[in-house]
Amino acid sequence: MMAESILVEAAGAGGSAPRRSRFVRQLARRPLTVIAGIVLVVIVIMSLLAPVLVPAGPYVQDLANTFAAPSASHLLGTDHLGRDVMTRLLYGGQLSLPAAALATGFAMLIGIPTGLAVGYYSGWLDRAVAIVTDTVMTFPGVILAISLVAVIGNTLTNAMLALGLVFSPAFVRLARAEVLATRNENFIVAARLLGYSTPRIMFRHILPNIVAPLIIQTFLSFSFALLAQAGLAFLGIGVKPPAPAWGSMLADSATYMAAFPFQVVPAGLIIALTALAASLLGDGVRDALGAGVRASRVRRRRIRHDPAVDLPGVAPDQRSLLAIRDLTIGYEENGTWTDIVHDVSLTVEKGQTCGLVGESGSGKSLTAAAILGLLPAPLEVRAGMIAVDGEDLAAMSEAQLRRRRGRAVAMIFQDPLASLNPTMTIGAQLIQTIRLHEGGSRAAARKTAIELLRTVEIREPEQRLNAYPHEFSGGMAQRVMIALALAGSPQLLVADEPTTALDVTVQVEILDLLRRLQTDTGMGILFITHDLAVVADICDSAAVMFQGRILETSTVEKLLTAPDHVYTKQLIAGVAVSAAKGAE
Amino acid sequence: MNDVLVEGKAVCVRFPGPRSSNRFARRGQADALIDIDVRVAVGETVGIVGESGSGKSTLAKTLLGLVPRSSGTIAWSGVAAPMSAEGVRRLATRDAQLVFQDPFGSLNPMMTVLSAIAEVLRRRGRTRRDAAAEARSLIEAVHLPASSLDRYPSEFSGGQRQRIVIARALAASPRLLVCDEPLSALDVSTQSRMIALFIELRERYGMAMLFIGHDLAVVHQLSDRMLVMHHGCVVEQGAADDVYLRPREAYTQKLIESIPVPDPAVQRARRARRFAASGR
């Protein structure tokens, strides 16, 4: 959650290319996908050019020269009737590829609209279709296709239509699941309120958003169809001799495999190669479509020196809890560095709360993330020092840093429900965290967990331990997050907009709680917010951040009554517009 | 009264009760709305305030036919709506458009701003060229550069997306703009610019507004009348100034007291009052 919001902030600096060229670039970056694409294109072109390349055609027999090994005149040898295998493979592509495409296309034609409709309408239609698709999917596909062919007649087209029918439930299920996930998005609600027709909503608004997984399924189906077609031909279904489909070639050659093992290689290889290339291409296209959506991994910083720091002229017992000096955060692209946060200096004293105020995109969350070494790639700490109680976190290795997280510094976030694991009870999450920090038995950790919940003023803590995060309101979930943060007895709590997502009444409660905990534990708090009114409530001092720089830092009284900077004045005026005139 | 745009009388919404025997699951939350009377006249702005779970969004969605009601009547421009949500929606879409809280999910990620706005206009019979020209003037009306039209939603910030959503809603020429917490996901400074925009657009297009929020101070600035909701009921309603400056109900007073102001002295004084009241 946090990584995402930081990425959004960082993305603003990156600029944006048109979507289509971005897609092509992403595709070109995947060598396997490019190779798979080239292989497929070559196979298709060679098949199309067969009449030009070998005008003699696939039926020319030479019974004097059967089972010939590969030679200059017959590149892949000859088969049991002395026909040139290479020629038959080329002409076979003209049969096999369109047939596989037909099966896939038919499966899509039936499956996708059905899946869209079923997912969109739900209800009885969904249940009825589910019975049919589930039934079809319980049978082995090829056997079902064989029985269908027996009914509708044994031609290649019929066999492929039967295969398409057998493949269609996979499309139905996939499209349905994707529609269910998309259907309740606000832009679909908006489309309904704009009075758009249902087919328009389905095909114009939902379909483009679910196309990526469908592409994978399409290429997969194509591979399956190719293989299934070979299997059917093996059983004499679909293609009739002497037509040169790949599957029937494989079937023919298998008869003589014991005596002439090379016979199965060309047809087998071309089927495997085509199926593999199609699958890989599908994977690559999906990945390229989805590229940039997923957050990237955290990357280590470059600065390395002795983490023990001495600020000149500061005795150890007088040093600040948190001292950030000249922190610069940036990313490298094509050999040049772009900085997003410039020379930030900030101090938090023990037992004090310091506010870091700014609009979204000002770099305040990035600064917070840098303290714990949680910058998302490609961002890095470029320069500066982050000293927590005399140790420079910016110079530490990941292992050293991990020991400080939760103990020296803990963090709470804007969206508590996204920060809790939805599949674990909050008791399990608390106990796990407590034992990570302090070890000890489960029973002891459980006791501590109950104590912590009581500390954050959650009633009936014994019972609430067994509850899951979704059973908590936003305010209660934030209390649980605070309890988790307290588990390591941190000296510094970094609070990244912890009340922004809450109701004003709940916000008051959480601020009161944080204030009380600070009095009890003496921890320092770095409070990140966009709201100066919240700063007025909880902070002792505050820094105002704008476009990656700190504009001014002072006590809250001075900042709000006599600000130095014109931007601060505007911020205060902005709040004043929306806040009380006669509220007191 | 033909100047009433939408009116709900004794509207109740009941959600299905808990399915599991889970001890903490939605106890007593089956009734989302209890006997709500609400009316918005042509050109009027009505504010609805309440905490999360108070039913304020459910009320808006019920009036728009996105949530089915269990009893009560709803009429749009004097025409009584049928019981089905579908039927309510068919009436509502003629007059009303909705602006959402979450600026990220409310635009189709695969459509450019131009195609999203032009689609609305084309459906209303504009030619391709007229639609493009009108989309341009709409995007300028919400103070975004015309170059925004060729871009995708992912390229905009939350506040900018909210402006795009408003432009798309305006394309349908609504007589009522329903705003469901449109400012909650935005920065304070962005909020005040958006409030100014809402006021400007309301004058320019002569729309009525149903403005939902949890911040009484913000809603007060925009509203002629206000409803304060709590646990699915209206606890106080009246002229916006009366509710905000002279609240009668304790709950309304608590809501107002909770809104922080950028003045440490005031916040300290309030804290002292709060602790005195709670006996700490």
Encode pLDDT of A152-186 as tens digits.
888 888 989 999 999 999 999 999 999 998 888 88
Tokens of A504: 């004003």
The residues that bridge with A298 in the sheet, in sequence order, are A376
How confident is the model at residue A395, as a pLDDT? 80
| Best to test chain B binding among A503, A544, A559 (most B CBs inside 10 Å) | A503
Fill in the DSSP letter of residue A291. Answer: T
Interface size A-B, in CB pairs within 8 Å, comes to: 172
CA distance A84 to A521: 87
Whether residues A580 and B259 touch (CB distance < 8 A) is answered with yes
CATH number listed for the domain at residues A2-65+73-290: 1.10.3720.10
Mean pLDDT of the region A333-343: 85
How confident is the model at residue A309, as a pLDDT? 56
Which residues of chain B lie closer than 8 angstroms to A208, CB-CB?
108, 110-111
Please name the residues in contact with A346: beta carbons below 8 A apart, sequence gap of 6 or more. Answer: A322, A323, A324, A327, A354, A356, A367, A526, A543, A550, A553
How confident is the model at residue A578, as a pLDDT? 44
Distance to chain A for B1, nearest Cα, Å: 26
Distance to chain B for A186, nearest Cα, Å: 4
CA distance A382 to A365: 16
Length of chain B: 280
Whether residues B217 and A508 touch (CB distance < 8 A) is answered with no
List B residues 186-215 in contact with A (Cβ-Cβ < 8 A): 187-193, 195, 214-215
Question: Does residue A12 register a pLDDT over 60?
Answer: no
CATH number listed for the domain at residues A316-408+490-578: 3.40.50.300
CA distance A523 to A410: 10
Phi-psi group of B95: left, alpha or beta (phi > 0 → left; psi -120 to 50 → alpha; rest → beta): alpha
**Percent of the residues in chain A that have a pLDDT greater than 70, as a whole number:** 90
CA distance A343 to A219: 51
B73: closest CA among B37, B97, B98, B33?
Answer: B37
A574 or A79, higher pLDDT: A79
The number of CA neighbours under 13 Å toward the Cβ of A503 is 21
How confident is the model at residue B31, as a pLDDT? 80
Encode pLDDT of A418-460 as tens digits.
888 888 999 999 999 999 888 888 899 999 999 999 999 888 8
CA distance A348 to A354: 6
How confident is the model at residue A10, as a pLDDT? 39
Among B22, B108, B256, the residue with its CB nearest the CB of A205 is B108
Mean pLDDT of the region A82-92: 88
How confident is the model at residue A2, as a pLDDT? 40
Whether residues A12 and B261 touch (CB distance < 8 A) is answered with no
Among A530, A534, A584, the residue with its CB nearest the CB of B260 is A534
Encode pLDDT of A106-137 as tens digits.
999 999 999 999 999 888 899 999 999 998 88
> Mean pLDDT of all residues in chain B?
88
Mean pLDDT of the region B133-157: 91
Encode pLDDT of A130-147 as tens digits.
999 998 888 888 888 888
B215 or A514, higher pLDDT: A514
The phi, psi pair for A142, rounded to 5°, reads -65, -40
How confident is the model at residue A575, as a pLDDT? 63
Mean pLDDT of the region A11-39: 70
**Percent of the residues in chain A that have a pLDDT greater than 90, as a whole number:** 33
How confident is the model at residue A16, as a pLDDT? 43
How confident is the model at residue B41, as a pLDDT? 94
Q: Does B179 touch chain A (CB under 8 A)?
A: no
Encode pLDDT of B172-193 as tens digits.
999 999 999 898 878 777 888 8
Instruction: Say what the alpha-carbon torsion angle B173, B177, B178, B183 is, to the nearest 10 degrees.
Output: 120
| Best to test chain B binding among A294, A352, A360 (most B CBs inside 10 Å) | A360
Q: Between vectors from CA A167 to CA A166 and to CA A171, what angle results, nearest 5°?
A: 135
Whether residues B263 and A536 touch (CB distance < 8 A) is answered with yes
3-state helix, strand, coil in chain A (%, to 5): 60, 15, 30
Looking at mean pLDDT, say which of A21-35, A411-425, B6-20 comes out highest. Answer: A411-425
CA distance B101 to A318: 47
Distance to chain A for B5, nearest Cα, Å: 17
**Percent of the residues in chain B that have a pLDDT greater than 90, as a whole number:** 64
Which residues of chain B lie closer than 8 angstroms to A474, CB-CB?
52
CA distance B213 to B99: 12
pTM for the model stands at 0.76
List A residues 358-377 in contact with B (Cβ-Cβ < 8 A): 359-361
Residue with tokens 């009436």: B91
Fill in the DSSP letter of residue B191. Answer: H
Mean pLDDT of the region A236-264: 83
Residue with tokens 């079923």: A118
First to last CA, chain B: 53
CA distance A581 to A575: 11
Whether residues B97 and A194 touch (CB distance < 8 A) is answered with yes
- DSSP reduced 3-state for B161: helix
B154 or A576, higher pLDDT: B154
List B residues 115-134 in contact with A (Cβ-Cβ < 8 A): 119-120, 123
Encode pLDDT of A474-497 as tens digits.
889 999 999 999 988 899 999 999
> Mean pLDDT of all residues in chain A?
84
Fill in the DSSP letter of residue A307. Answer: S
Whether residues B215 and A578 touch (CB distance < 8 A) is answered with yes
How confident is the model at residue A7, as a pLDDT? 38
Encode pLDDT of A271-313 as tens digits.
899 989 998 998 888 777 764 443 344 444 455 555 555 555 5
CA distances from A499 to A233, A376, A555, B165, B264 (A): 66, 23, 22, 26, 18
Encode pLDDT of A554-563 as tens digits.
999 999 989 9
CA distance B40 to A467: 42
The residues that bridge with B6 in the sheet, in sequence order, are B40, B76
β pairing state of B71-76 and A391-392: unpaired
How confident is the model at residue B133, as a pLDDT? 95
List B residues 68-107 in contact with A (Cβ-Cβ < 8 A): 89, 92-94, 96-98, 100, 102, 105-107
Domains of chain B are: 4-19+26-278 (3.40.50.300)
Please name the residues in contact with B47: beta carbons below 8 A apart, sequence gap of 6 or more. Answer: B211, B212, B213, B219, B220, B222, B223, B225, B226, B227, B240
Question: Does residue A14 register a pLDDT over 60?
Answer: no
| Best to test chain B binding among A459, A465, A466, A504 (most B CBs inside 10 Å) | A504
SS (H, E, C) A344-395: EEEEECCCCEEEEECCCCCCHHHHHHHHCCCCECCCEEEEEEEEECCEEHHH
Which range (A8-22, B127-141, B170-184) has the least confidence? A8-22
Among B151, B245, B262, the residue with its CB nearest the CB of A532 is B262
Which residues of chain B lie closer than 8 angstroms to A425, CB-CB?
none
How confident is the model at residue A292, as a pLDDT? 41
Encode pLDDT of A203-242 as tens digits.
889 998 888 889 889 998 998 898 888 888 878 888 777 7
Alpha-helical regions (H) of A426-540: 426-438, 442-455, 461-464, 474-486, 504-521, 532-538
List B residues 39-68 in contact with A (Cβ-Cβ < 8 A): 51-53, 64, 66
B186: closest CA among B198, B178, B195?
Answer: B195
Side-by-side strand order, sheet with B79-80: B31-41, B4-14, B71-76, B79-80
Distance to chain A for B111, nearest Cα, Å: 8
Among B52, B151, B267, the residue with its CB nearest the CB of A537 is B267
**Percent of the residues in chain B that have a pLDDT greater than 70, as a whole number:** 93
Question: Does residue B27 register a pLDDT over 60?
Answer: no
CA distances from A48 to A52, A89, A371, A481 (A): 9, 12, 61, 64
Which residues of chain B lie closer than 8 angstroms to A122, CB-CB?
none
CA distance A581 to B34: 33
A100: closest CA among A217, A216, A221, A214?
Answer: A221
| Best to test chain A binding among B189, B211, B223 (most A CBs inside 10 Å) | B189
